[in-house]
Amino acid sequence: MRDANFGQDEFEALLAESARAAADFDESERPEIQSELADRHALRRVRGFSTELQDISEAEYRQLQLERVVLVGVWTEGTVEMAENSLAELKALAETAGSEVLDGLIQRRDKPDPATYIGSGKVVQLREVVVATGADTVICDGELSPSQLRQLEEKIKVKVVDRTALILDIFAQHAKSKEGKAQVELAQISYLLPRLRGWGDSLSRQVGGRAAGGAGIGGRGPGETKIETDRRRIRDKMAKLRREIAQMKVSRDTKRQERRRHGIPAVAIAGYTNAGKSSLLNRLTNSDVLVENALFATLDPTVRKSTTSDGRIFTYTDTVGFVRHLPHQLIDAFKSTLEEVSGADVIVHLVDGSHADPFEQIRAVREVFAEIGAGDIREIIAINKADVTNPEVVMDILRQEPNSFAISVKSGFGIAGLIAAIESDLPRPNVEITTLVPYSRGDLVSAIHERGEILSEEYLPEGTAIHARVDGALAKELELL
């Protein structure tokens, strides 16, 4: 019997051991062609969604209620370290969701088994571990097809969930704002929808009678099968959520457009989850956004005003963190939130330098940047947590990334340098003006200070003579003087 409360070291030793053991395990099992993308995912895993699908809105506050879990991963490529990092991340995700991790297993395979994700021999071993530890749930480190989840569950005899469901669950737990909740719910429902197909058989059997005849009977209305009714209700619900999100988005869009019209540059703080984004925003702008050693602590963007050393106004935005294989349902649903990143003038891409594989983090984050149309925005890499990072790793990143800086939000190390880099990367106002502003128009003088770059300023009897560079909108206003 394993100790349910073993610590980090034991867990790590265990991971290493299981990876080694798995490395020479049943290579002979040849997986067949992977099931189609559209066929992946598992409806049956989600609590609160009864077979009858009584209430679609149950998805909103649903929790998987995973308590004592065993993790299992399939290691298909890369090094042992990469496979272990992946499982360690799954452990952090599981813990963030509130579960206790009892054990972790990795199997080396070319591809996940199309029937049971891990090979059939490994399934027996996994069942033994589940019995020995008293686990109530198995979490797989990937996206599984409905039939994979079903078959695994039949053999292991406890609940089996995949990584996507786990991440959606964390988002559901952390969503605070109305908009955030609606976005998460939309993501959850779109995760469920394709899973209805894989579920069709058992669903039809349960409703029995004519529905069991499935599409054969066909037709809408009274002849409609249960699964079709459910699909339609889910689609209606999704449409309603999309409308709600679009409405809530309007006020944030208006504010952003207002800032843009006033030529106020935007800096987005983006990066992997738990890199220290909220901590950095707090330090840079004296704010108190929630900071937590947990994944996806922040879901709602926070915009804060700041000024450059020469008095120009700009904004910092803290936003939702990214993760490897961020479920696409979340990217879709959080589109309006992610516009805070794709609409920025400069991205401060924060990296946790103390993470086991910061390069992998950088790669995963850039993948999301590309997906949301932020791939071409000026990017500053800030390697955070320098207080606890191996200096060689930091040096490595600094060498490979030309626009990069080492910082520690905690100790303050490197922050001044980062601020200087941000200021110098901000878009510069590009219209050069020479003007005389009467003393009655102090508002314009302030505007030039806040939005422009002063080249010279002189107080004359008739008013303030200013030579400056300003944005086009302000230049127009000044022309009217």
Ligand X SMILES: Nc1nc2c(ncn2[C@@H]2O[C@H](COP(=O)(O)OP(=O)(O)OP(=O)(O)O)[C@@H](O)[C@H]2O)c(=O)[nH]1
List interacting residues with ligand X (CB under 6 A).
273-279, 291-298, 321, 384-385, 387-388, 408-410
Residue nearer to ligand X on the CB measure, 286 or 293: 293
Residue nearer to ligand X on the CB measure, 53 or 170: 170
273 contact, one of Mg ion, ligand X, none, CB 5-8 Å limit per kind: ligand X
274 contact, one of ligand X, Mg ion, none, CB 5-8 Å limit per kind: ligand X
Residue nearer to Mg ion on the CB measure, 82 or 289: 289
Residue nearer to Mg ion on the CB measure, 148 or 298: 298
Two tokens, residue 469: 């560079």
Q: Detail the DSSP E strand segments found in 393-462.
A: 404-406, 431-437, 453-460
CB of 368 to ligand X, least distance (A): 13
CA distance 375 to 358: 19
In DSSP notation, 337-397 reads HHHHHHT-SEEEEEEETTSS-HHHHHHHHHHHHHHTT-TTSEEEEEEE-GGGS-HHHHHHH
Residues that bind Mg ion (CB under 5 A): 277-278, 297-298
410 contact, one of Mg ion, ligand X, none, CB 5-8 Å limit per kind: ligand X
65 half-sphere exposure, CB direction, 13 A CA radius:
5
Residue nearer to ligand X on the CB measure, 259 or 349: 349
CB of 387 to ligand X, least distance (A): 5
Q: Nearest to Mg ion by Cβ — which residue? A: 298
Strand order in the sheet with 159-162: 100-108, 68-75, 137-140, 159-162
How many contiguous H segments (helices) and E segments (strands) does the chain have?
A: 16, 13
59 contact, one of ligand X, Mg ion, none, CB 5-8 Å limit per kind: none
Residue nearer to Mg ion on the CB measure, 169 or 318: 318
Residue 48, judged by CB atoms within 10 A of its CB (0-12, 13-18, 19+), counts as middle
Asked if 422 contacts 414 with a C-beta cutoff of 8 angstroms, the reply is no
Spatial neighbors of 318 by CB under 8 A, at least 6 apart, are 269, 277, 278, 280, 281, 289, 298, 301, 302, 304
Q: Which SS3 state, helix, strand or coil, does residue 83 take?
A: helix
CB of 363 to ligand X, least distance (A): 17
8 contact, one of ligand X, Mg ion, none, CB 5-8 Å limit per kind: none
User: CB 383: neighbour CB atoms within 10 A?
Assistant: 28
Q: Which residue has the tokens 């606890």?
A: 388
CA distance 286 to 137: 42
CB of 132 to ligand X, least distance (A): 33
CB of 176 to ligand X, least distance (A): 12
CB of 298 to Mg ion, least distance (A): 3
Asked if 170 contacts 141 with a C-beta cutoff of 8 angstroms, the reply is no
Residue nearer to ligand X on the CB measure, 342 or 435: 342
Strand order in the sheet with 453-460: 431-437, 463-470, 453-460
Residue nearer to ligand X on the CB measure, 81 or 387: 387
CB of 283 to ligand X, least distance (A): 9
Asked if 412 contacts 450 with a C-beta cutoff of 8 angstroms, the reply is no
What residue type is assigned to position 7 of the chain? Answer: G
CB of 161 to ligand X, least distance (A): 21
2 contact, one of ligand X, Mg ion, none, CB 5-8 Å limit per kind: none
Residue nearer to Mg ion on the CB measure, 115 or 350: 350
Q: Nearest to ligand X by Cβ — which residue? A: 321
99 contact, one of Mg ion, ligand X, none, CB 5-8 Å limit per kind: none
292 contact, one of Mg ion, ligand X, none, CB 5-8 Å limit per kind: ligand X
Residue nearer to ligand X on the CB measure, 258 or 292: 292
107 contact, one of ligand X, Mg ion, none, CB 5-8 Å limit per kind: none
CB of 330 to Mg ion, least distance (A): 15
CB of 337 to ligand X, least distance (A): 12
144 contact, one of Mg ion, ligand X, none, CB 5-8 Å limit per kind: none
